[in-house]
Chains A and B, each alone.
Chain A
C-alpha cells in the first residue's frame, strides 16, 4: 500500500508553486530595485524611514495589547464555557464562534458606526476595542477546546493532594491549558499585526498600521519596497511561530465545525 504516499505528490507540487515559491519571491523582490538589480536599498530605506518604523512599532504594540486584552477577557469565558457545572449548553459555545463566520469588514464597519452613534471619538481606544471584538472568538475557541478535553482527574488529584481551588487553577489547570492559550495567542496576534482595512475603518484613517503601509506600496506599484516590508512581517511571524513551537495551527483550526 506504499504507493499511496505518492498521492501527496500533486499537492506537494502545488505547495511548492503557490506557497514556497511566492515566499521566496518576497525575499527576491525585497533585494531588487525596480529594474531587477540586486540592492539593499529597500532594507535601508525601511530603517531610515521614520514613518514606516513608527508604524511598525505601533503595529506590534497594538497587536500585543490586543492579544493581552483578548486573553484577559477570553480565558474566563473559555473556562466558564468548558466547565460542566457552570455551562451545560453547547449552543452557547456555538454563539461565541458564530461571529467568526460573518464578514469581518461588515462587522467592523458596524462597530465603527456604533462608536459613532455613542459619540465615542474614533482613535486608538476604539481600534483596540474593535479589534478585540473581531478576534475574541479566536482566543476563546482554542482555550475552550483544550479545557474541555482536559482530564478532570488532574484537578481532582490536585485537590486530593491538598490544593485549594485557586491553587488547583494556578498549578494545574492553567499550565495544562497553555497549548490552547498559545494557539489563541497565535490566532489573535498574527492577524492583528498584519491587519489593514480594519484599522482604517476603526480609526477613520487616523491610525495607520503596518499592513496598510504594505498595501499602499503594493498598490502604488512600489513592489520591491512592499516586498521588503512584507519580509519584515514574515520575520515577526517566523519568530512568533518558532517561539511557540509546533502544531498550534492544527490545534486551533481542528473541529471548528
Chain B
C-alpha cells in the first residue's frame, strides 16, 4: 500500500511539473529583460517596470488590448448572468418537449468548437449587415457564456425547496419582494459561479473574438498575442502580464476552493 502511494504521488507530481513547465517558464523569463523567451540575460525587473509605466514599444496596443479584454469580459458575463438566470428559472418551469428543446439549444454553444461558433456568428453578422466591432464581439461572448450560467443556476433551482417562494408569499411578500429576498439569495451561488466561469471563458477566448471583431483593429489580449506571434516577436512585456494574471487566478481559485472544501467539511 505504501509503495503504491509513493508511485501514485510521484505520477501526480510528475504530471503537474510537466503541466506547469510552460507557465513557470513564462514566469521565470518575466524576470529578465531579454526580448525573446528562453534567452536569459540576468535578473531584471525592467519588464515589470515597462508594463506599469507603459514605456515600451507599442505600449498603447497592449494596454488597450488589456482594457478591451476586461471590458468585454465584464459586460458579456454581466449580461450573460442576468439573461442566463432568468432563462434558467424559465426552463426549470418548462415541461416536456419545450424543456427538451431549450436544453438542447442551450447545449449547442457548449458542444460547438469555438471556430464553428465564430464562423457561424461571423456569417450572421454579415447576413444581417451589422458592422463588426465591440458590439458583435460582446454579443458573441454572451452567446457562448450564457449556457454556462444556465448550467450553473439550474442545480441551485433543483436543490431549492420549491415551496420557499410560496412561503415568502404566504408570509406577506409581494411577488417581486419574494424574488429579491428569497429566490435570488437562493440562486446566488450558482449565479456567482456562472459569472466567474463566463468571465474567465471570455478572457480566454480567441477564436470567437477573432471572427467577430471585424476590421476596425479591435484587439483583445488573445488576438493581440496571436498577431504579435505571427509577426515573429512577442512583446516581451506579455511575460510579466501573464505572470501577474496567473498569480491572480491562482490566488482566487485556491481561496474559492479552500473555502468550499471547508464548507463541505463543516456539513
Contact = CB atoms under 8 A, between A and B. Distances in A.
A178 interface: no
A117 B150 CA distance: 44
Most buried by A among B119, B200, B238: B119
A226 interface: yes
Most buried by A among B12, B120, B238, B254: B120
Nearest to B150: A11
A133 B24 CA distance: 14
B90 A7 contact: yes
A137 B196 CA distance: 18
For chain B, what secondary structure do more than half of its interface residues adopt (helix, strand, loop), or is it mixed? helix
Interface stretch (B47-55, B56-64, B70-78, B110-118): B110-118
Interface string B27-55: 00000000011100000000000000000
B119 A109 contact: no
A137 B130 CA distance: 37
Given A77-B15, A104-B204, A256-B197, A8 B94 contact: yes
A196 interface: yes
Contacts, number: 253
Contacts of B1: 85
Contacts of B197: 253, 256-257
Contacts of B250: 98
A218 B211 contact: yes
Interface string A218-257: 1000010011001001100100010000010110011111
B115 A214 contact: yes
A193 B115 CA distance: 10
A5 B151 contact: no
Interface of B: 1, 4-5, 8-9, 11-12, 15-16, 18-23, 25-26, 36-38, 83-84, 86-87, 89-95, 98, 102, 105-116, 119-124, 126-127, 139-140, 142-143, 146, 148, 150-152, 155, 165-166, 193, 196-197, 200, 203-204, 206-207, 210-211, 221-222, 225-226, 229-230, 234, 238, 242, 245-246, 249-250, 253-254, 256-258, 261
A4 B206 contact: no
A126 interface: no
For chain A, what secondary structure do more than half of its interface residues adopt (helix, strand, loop), or is it mixed? helix
Nearest to A4: B93
Most buried by A among B23, B123, B143, B222: B123
Contact of A214 (B119, B230, B249): B119
Contact of B22 (A94, A114, A237): A114
B21 A23 contact: no
A20 B105 contact: yes
Given A11-B83, A25-B127, A214-B119, A101 B253 contact: yes
A116 B165 CA distance: 60
Given A2-B93, A102-B245, A7 B86 contact: yes
A22 B123 contact: yes
A10 interface: yes
Contacts of A19: 105, 108-109, 143
Contacts of A218: 119, 122, 211
Interface residues of A, number: 91
A54 B146 CA distance: 36
A194 B105 contact: no
Interface of A: 1-2, 4-12, 14-23, 25-26, 29, 73, 76-77, 80-81, 83, 85-87, 90-99, 101-111, 113-114, 116-117, 133, 136-137, 186, 190-191, 193-197, 200-201, 211, 214-215, 218, 223, 226-227, 230, 233-234, 237, 241, 247, 249-250, 253-257
Contacts of A2: 93
A237 B120 contact: no
B120 A191 contact: no
Contacts of B93: 1-2, 4-5, 7-8
Given A106-B225, A227-B123, A249-B110, A114 B115 contact: no
B12 A8 contact: no
Contacts of A214: 115, 119
B38 A85 contact: no
Contacts of B5: 85-86
Contacts of B8: 80, 83, 86-87
